[in-house]
């Protein structure tokens, strides 16, 4: 697996979930230990993801939005 493939795969990695033990991610995660550049990229990617999660969580959700979506309004 080359760096581009590893990056593509790890962009979908979710820290703190079952992904940690998923064999699909094993090789890519192992490469982080031996490739400082890749490890730095992954840290930055995870930091960006954390900021995005917090940003989305800070947006108030209208209580009726689920019903409106399901009704097609």
- Which pTM value belongs to this model? 0.77
Domain ranges, ordered by start, for the chain: 3-71
Q: How far apart are CA 67 and CA 57, in angstroms?
A: 20
Report pLDDT digits (tens) over 12-63. 999 889 999 999 999 999 999 999 999 999 999 999 999 999 999 999 988 8
- Cα dist from 28 to 5, 32, 47, 56, 61, whole Å: 9, 7, 18, 28, 36
């Amino acid at each position: 697996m080359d760096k581009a493939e590893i990056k593509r795969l790890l962009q979908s990695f979710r820290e703190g979930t079952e992904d940690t033990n998923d064999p699909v991610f094993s090789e890519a995660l192992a490469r982080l230990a031996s490739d400082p550049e890749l490890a730095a990229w992954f840290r930055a990617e995870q930091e960006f993801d954390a900021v995005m999660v917090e940003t989305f969580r800070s947006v108030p959700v209208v209580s009726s939005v689920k019903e409106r979506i399901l009704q097609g309004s």
